[in-house]
Each structure stands twice: as structure tokens, then as C-alpha cells.
Chain A
């Protein structure tokens, strides 16, 4: 059989750090980075006698994530201890949730293209629970020691577990992108893969179309880029298909993805699997939500991407393709929204965002996470261009500078002599001068030879050099010639 004869059955476990200011069980800063072991205290470093106290904001963020992913919220929820020994886990247990997670039964629609064909699918979410992150180990091979950094200990994480509804690497990648976007819009996670704030475990098995039950699955742990998720799944499908073709059995095991070799390798088999000896954490009170609590949290959810998309297409009349491009990047969309507050011309701003901004983002000239210019400045520039205070070409030139250093577009235009100031007095003065100096041409025009208008127009423009728009010059010149 070939690979295409098997149906891949894939489920994801996505871990995403929450954007709370402090950690989930103590008051230490939850910010990324910092000097080693500078963001920890007796509680998150697991000193004897310390107790965890739950951060209510983290609980609310997890619930918000649940609403963003279409989940139901458990009004009664319990935290459990997951016990295992590892030097990056100072308490030797992770506070997590087993039987009663905060959110259950969600649904995330995805759209993607396969062989040039548009497809859409719903991926069910089994659960979302709240837990704490572990620290980091740094292995110093030179001195033969391992060092522990506990800054990350206690950073709040949500674990999103999907149902095995995914059938391809493309679907998995699209889903992770979509979930990242939803979490960013909900304001609960920044989903920066490069900082490890979103990580993914993949569960995958193959079955034949005639099979009634799922095949034996392998779990590939800790994938931290869209590319590695994609490649892992592609690799695993091939690996498992090859084994099945040979009549061999798939071993239920945990595997690791080697990015350099582009392949997965055995980490531990089922026999070595941990027994985490979960039990309810007696230090943490059970969570009880009232209907009012949940209404308040749901109502605090910001505008979500599908709501923005609908608004862009149906209210702003932006073409769907362009609208999607903007919405699919939260920062870009926020910039667009903020720009609209200054200059309420959605179509023109959308063109600018999809044109100049995207172009320079793709060139690496704009870091959309931290652009040099503000949305207000961008809006002003677009408005100046639209009202012909600068020429279209000059607007691009001004934006090049703004993308690099930021700044008020009007100031830049002034400094660089690109600002078009319409001074009708001066325009008329110049026109009079040109008419006086070109009697012959004027007479030609008056006798019906309208072709010379271009020549006269050119003379005026040359003289006015950016002090008026061509439109104004044209109007004034026509008026003057008629009145002669």
C-alpha cells in the first residue's frame, strides 16, 4: 500500500503560556527572560513550608481561552497534582488538572487550501486546563554540570487538547495557526513560538479506510515551530505506513523530533511511561463559578477575528482576500483599527496596510511586533496622500523613512520639501506670468488649438514646483484662459 492508502488520525496537545503579570501560584513576575533565577521566590522554587495560592487572573484567562475556542466552562473545577521527579520541577509535582478541567467540548473551524482547492473543517477541542510551567535546565558540558533556572517555574500555561479530528500536516499547521490567532485576539497569550510561549505535542496513528478502530499511536513531544509540527507529521505518516506495509506493529511510545535530521526517535516506550499518581491538590481550593462570574468573563472577551472579518467585508466593503490578510495578523489588524480612529477611510487604509506595510514587512523592514511608527502616523500619511498633500510617490518615500525611524509624516514631508501647499494667490501669479510670457501659445489655445494646454500646464507646474497639486493648477489655468 502507499501512504495515501492510510488515513492519518492526529490529535494535538497545545501548551500556551498565559500573559498574566505574575505567576500562577505566587506573585513573581511572569515576564519572559530575566537573569537566571532572578524571578523566583520561596513558593515557586518549592522551599519547604511554602504554599501555592492561585492567581485568579490566570483562571479567568484560561476561561477566556475556553470561550475563544468555543468551549463550555465547568462551573466546578479541581486542581490536581501530577507527581514526577525532574530537576526542573522543584516541588516534584506539577499542579495541573485531570478530571475536572476549566473548559471542555470546544470547536475550532479551520480553512485551508489543498491542491489549489479550498477546504474547511471543524476540529473539536476535548478540553482546556490550567497548569504551571516547569523551569529550565542548562547543561554545561565543559564543566560536566547541569544548572537549573527556575524563572519559568510557575508561569501559567493552558493545555489545549484536541480530539483526533486532524488528518494531515496541513490541517495541523492551520489549526495551530488558528488557535494562536484566537488566543492572541482573546488577549490571553502572545503565542510567540520562538520564546516557547506556545508548544505542541502530536499524537498520531494510521488506519485503513476499512478499519473500525484507530491504530496504535505514537506521541511526539515538544514541537515548538509550525515547520517542525508539519515536518514531524509528514515524517511520522511515512514511518508508520512503512512499518504497517511490512506487516510490523506500531509501538505505543513517546518520540522526540530531531530538527537537524528531520526525523523522530524513540524517547520512551509505554513500559517506561510515568505513573503520575494524580490526586486532588489539597492546597488549592476548588474553583466554583457563578453564572454572573462566567457572564462577566465572557463579556470581557475582546472582538474576535471572525467578528472583525465580518465587519471588514460587510461594513467596510474590503475585498475578502485583503480582509483575511489583515485579520490573520492580530498586530496588523490592531494597527488598522487604530488607524481608522484617526482617518476613517477603511478602503484606503486597507490598501495601504496590504500594500506598503505588507511589502515592507516581507522585506523585513518592519517588525510588526514593534513597529517604529504608530498607527496614527500611518493614518495621517494615507490621508495626506489621498488629499494630495503629497504625491503618491513621495508618500512611499516618506513611509520608507517612517518604517525605519518613525516620525510625523507632515514633518518629514516639510523637511524634505515634499509637502504640497496650495497657495492660490501664488498659483494665479504664476499663471499670469506664464500667460504673459507665452502670448503665442495662448492665442493658439483661444483659437481652438487645445493641444497647447499641456505646454502651458507644464510651464506652470515647473514654476510652481510642488506648491500646488496638478489638479489645482489645471483648474485655475482653465479658468484663467476662459476668462481672457
Chain B
């Protein structure tokens, strides 16, 4: 038996029954990383020695009978989540050597459960992108076909998960960065409600949209991880004081009478035929389980990508201003005054996509343009929220494709940012409306690439989203990646 193919839930039983030890499990993953990651390029940093030490500690706890749901479980962490003493690069030359002196709140929470961190995974630089090809260090490949992208920005976490290089992973999602790579890599990824998980220690991209979430083999595993990371945090003013639920509570729930909306615009032109068919077929599966399908509409969807890029780039332009090479991060060798120095440091430290967004964001916030761009985008944000609220008056969940296509070739789309941005159409409204959504595999293309669908829930209703995805997963035959 290959332990690296098991779910967290299965591993928990094996660990607690002493069928396997956490150090053994950890070594199995490290061996697999050593064997495969040359091709996959999913990890920026592998913390093999620290992982074994952590596994031994976790094992002590298991031996004492003081286990917890994630105790001794090997996990991969996206490289924009601060880890004390371990480099956190955001896949940017700017932070190539940045070692945080503190842990993100999610890391504090996971460490209190004695997880085993295997390493830090690659991503699009500063989480800006949907392909992981803007990473300054590891341009991750898709485990189903290494000629294809893993999606992004959490491409490293999703690919590692899809290739069996970890039992669970954390990603971050600003406009689809957990769901879309999960879809491309044939795994399950959840973006929680904005304010459900603390952002403290997540290197900010767009503060009003960013949210940390789990990537795992199954919806149930996502629920187990979310249980560990959700909840109030005094270090983040935007995190909710609302108590966290048990996110595995609706595992095994009946779909009978559950109303699932299919907004027409998400199935319109621009969505690949194979994708549309797979998602509609999944809708039929839900119907067969007793769910009720509801037709509905989201007229503002056509403006969503524009609104998203204005809001996220505006916030990013401000969030990324702190990288001036003065306090930490890349500092240019060029000698000059303050302005010359920071201009050189930033020009050298940031990649093209990051620069493009900084320019876009600055432009949108300039006095004279603010109302026309940022102001309009904020108005649209309100409109999109209203349209979601209207849909939720007559349904419980919304079903959409996760991305217009399955994973594409590594050389495609790279030089066409507009086309790349448009590919975010299926995911960005969820962030704009602060909603929870999960992506799970619902089919495969003729070429064998996974297709993902997204189940979007009402605010704070992660449990239903996870429950519905679980119901589908139990009747769907996944094809593991052959890498």
C-alpha cells in the first residue's frame, strides 16, 4: 500500500491505530518529493529535517493518546504564508531571502495540532496569476501532464496535492487561486467566507479579497483542515468573531430538496464545451440525488473581471509599496539617492506581471481617475453582492464551472494578459461577494485533464458546501495522476 495515496481521514485512523507512524509517513512523502518534484517543481523550499523532527514530536503525542485531527499529518504550505525561521518568498526575487520572525496565525493553529510541514510551495509571484508560471523560482507543472500548467496562483500546493507529495495543503485565494489550481490538478480546494480564517501572516495581495483555505484530496479533508484554521484572531481586525462551526458536520448529508442554482451566464460563450458538459452532468447527478436545479441569472458577470482587476490591483499597488529594499528584501547594487535606490530595487525585484498590476492599481487610484475606475469597481462590487443575495433568496447553493477550460499548455496565454485575466471569470465574483466556495473534480477532458466544478454557498455556510461536494465525490470515480 502506498500511504501517500490516502486521505487525511484514512491516515488519521492508521496513525491512531499505530499501523503507521508519523515519521514513517513523513519519510514516505519526502522520498516521493525527492523522486518526483524535479519534474513537478511544486516546492520552493523542502524542510525535510524539520519535518522529521516535527513528526517525531507528533508521534509522542499520538503515543500518549493525545492525538488531534491533524496531529502528525504531513502538509505543504503556500510560500506566501509566513513561517517563523523558514523562508517565505512569495515566489518573488524581492523576498528571495526573507525569513519571517513570526508565524502566520494559521501556522500557529496548525502547529498547535502538531502537523508536519513538508515545505513551502511555489505560486505565481505574490499570488498574481493563474498558472504558477510567474514564479521567480519554480514554474510548477501539472501532475496530469507536465507540459501543462497546474493553474494558480496556489499551483504548487495543488500540484503537490495532485501528485501525492503531501496529505493536505494550504493555499490562498484572492480571485480563484485555490479553486482554479485545484480544478486543474484534480483535487479539492476550498475558499472560505471572507473573515472566516485569519489573514495575519498571509503576505497581502488584495486585502479585501484574500483568504487562506485548504487544498486536499476530498471535501471532507478540506473540512478537517478548515476546522483547524478557522476562527477569531486578535491580530486580524477583519476576521469574524462569529464562532467557527464543525465543517465536517454535513458529511454524508442528503441532497434531497437542496436547491442548486445554475446561473446562465456561467454556462455561456467562452466556456469550453467539454467543461460545460461535465459540470451540467454533475448537476444531473445532484438532481438524481434528489436536489432541485434552479435557473437563474447574474447579469453583472460580464463586468466582474474588470471590477476584480481594478479592486485587486489597487489594493496590491498599496500593499506591495512596502517592498523598497530598505528594511528587508532585494536591494539593488545601484548607488543613488533614495528614489533611485528604491526604483532600481523594485525594478529588479519584481517580475513583469507584478509590475503590470502595480501600474494598473496606481492608475486606478490616481486623483482624477479614482471615480471612473476604483469608484465604479466598488459600485459593481455592491451590485454583484446584491445579485448573489437575490439568487440565494430562492436557492441554497450555486453550481458553476471553476474555470472556462481545463489546464492548458505551459506556453499558452503567457503573453496575453487580457486572455489570462478573462479566464478568472468563473471565480472572481465569489471573492467580491465574500462567499465560500469549493472546487472538486467532476470530469476529465478527452486528453485526460481534470475538469473542476465550483459549489458556492451562502456566507458562513462552508459546512453545506463541503457536504454537497462530499456527496458528489462519493459517487464519482477520480483518476489519480500518473506521475
Contact = CB atoms under 8 A, between A and B. Distances in A.
The 3 closest A-B pairs by CB, nearest first: A92-B321, A282-B208, A277-B365
With most chain A CB atoms within 10 A of its CB, the pick from B100, B203, B321, B365 is B321
22 contacts: A47-B327, A47-B328, A48-B95, A48-B328, A49-B100, A50-B102, A50-B235, A51-B204, A51-B236, A52-B237, A85-B342, A86-B338, A90-B322, A91-B321, A92-B321, A93-B318, A93-B321, A148-B327, A279-B365, A282-B208, A282-B238, A285-B237
Given A53-B236, A83-B321, A92-B318, 5 more contacts: A48-B203, A83-B317, A277-B366, A278-B365, A283-B237
Nearest to B314: A279
B104 A49 contact: yes
Interface stretch (B3-11, B194-202, B292-300, B387-395): B194-202
Interface in B198-219: 199-204, 206-208
Interface string B305-332: 0000000001101100111101110000
A275 interface: yes
A279 B318 contact: yes
A49 B207 contact: no
A49 B318 contact: no
B380 interface: no
Contacts of A81: 318
B354 to A, nearest CB: 14
B234 A53 contact: yes
Contacts of B326: 87, 148
Interface string B212-248: 0000000000000000000000111110000000000
Contact of A42 (B101, B236, B367): B101
Interface residues of B, number: 45
B317 to A, nearest CB: 8
Contacts of A54: 237
Contacts of A86: 338
A45 B88 CA distance: 17
Nearest to A92: B321
B422 interface: no
B367 A277 contact: yes
A46 interface: yes
Contacts of A277: 317-318, 362, 365-367, 370
B326 to A, nearest CB: 5
Interface of A: 42, 45-54, 81, 83, 85-87, 90-93, 148, 275, 277-279, 281-285
Given A48-B82, A48-B90, A90-B322, A285 B238 contact: yes
Contacts of B408: none
A275 B204 contact: no
B374 interface: yes
A23 to B, nearest CB: 14
Given A92-B321, A92-B324, A275 B366 contact: yes
A53 B235 contact: yes
A275 B366 CA distance: 7
Contact of B207 (A45, A46, A83, A282): A282
Contacts of A282: 206-208, 238, 315
B98 interface: yes
A45 B100 CA distance: 13
Contacts of B207: 281-283
A293 to B, nearest CB: 17
A279 B104 CA distance: 26
A281 B319 CA distance: 10
Contacts of A85: 321, 324, 338-339, 342
A42 B238 contact: no
A87 B328 CA distance: 12
A132 B203 CA distance: 21
A42 B318 contact: no
A92 B339 CA distance: 13
B342 A49 contact: no
B102 A42 contact: yes
The interface centre, meaning the residue of A91, A277, A284 with most chain B CB atoms within 10 A of its CB, is A277
B366 A49 contact: no
Contacts of B81: 49
A407 to B, nearest CB: 47
A135 B374 CA distance: 30
Given A277-B366, A279-B314, A282-B208, A50 B200 contact: yes
Contacts of B366: 275, 277
A285 B194 CA distance: 13
A195 to B, nearest CB: 25
A51 B88 contact: no
Nearest to A150: B327
Contacts of B98: 48
Contacts of A283: 204, 207, 237-238
A416 B316 CA distance: 74
Nearest to A284: B237
A51 B237 contact: yes
Contacts of B315: 279, 282
A51 B235 contact: yes
Contacts of A284: 237
B327 A49 contact: no
A22 to B, nearest CB: 13
Interface in B159-205: 199-204
Given A47-B102, A93-B321, A285-B237, A87 B367 contact: no
Contacts of B238: 51, 282-283, 285
Nearest to A46: B322
A283 B234 CA distance: 13
B276 to A, nearest CB: 34
B327 A46 contact: yes
Contacts of B328: 47-48
Nearest to A52: B237
A1 to B, nearest CB: 37
A51 B208 CA distance: 12
Contacts of A52: 237
Contacts of B88: 48-49
Contacts of B342: 85
A49 B365 contact: no
A287 B182 CA distance: 37
B234 to A, nearest CB: 7
A49 B322 contact: no
B100 A47 contact: yes
Interface string B396-437: 000000000000000000000000000000000000000000
Interface in B47-90: 80-82, 88, 90
A204 B314 CA distance: 35
Nearest to B363: A277
Contacts of A42: 100-102
A33 to B, nearest CB: 22
A327 to B, nearest CB: 40
B318 A83 contact: yes
B374 A47 contact: no
A86 B101 CA distance: 23
A463 B315 CA distance: 90
Nearest to B102: A42
Nearest to B374: A279
Nearest to B207: A282
A172 B445 CA distance: 76
B311 to A, nearest CB: 9
B338 A275 contact: no
Contact of A53 (B101, B237, B318): B237
Nearest to A91: B322
A52 B82 CA distance: 16
Contacts of A87: 324, 326, 338
Contacts of B235: 50-51, 53
Interface in B254-290: none
Contacts of B104: 49
A220 B318 CA distance: 28
A49 B201 CA distance: 4
A83 B366 CA distance: 11
A173 to B, nearest CB: 34
B208 A92 contact: no
A46 B101 CA distance: 12
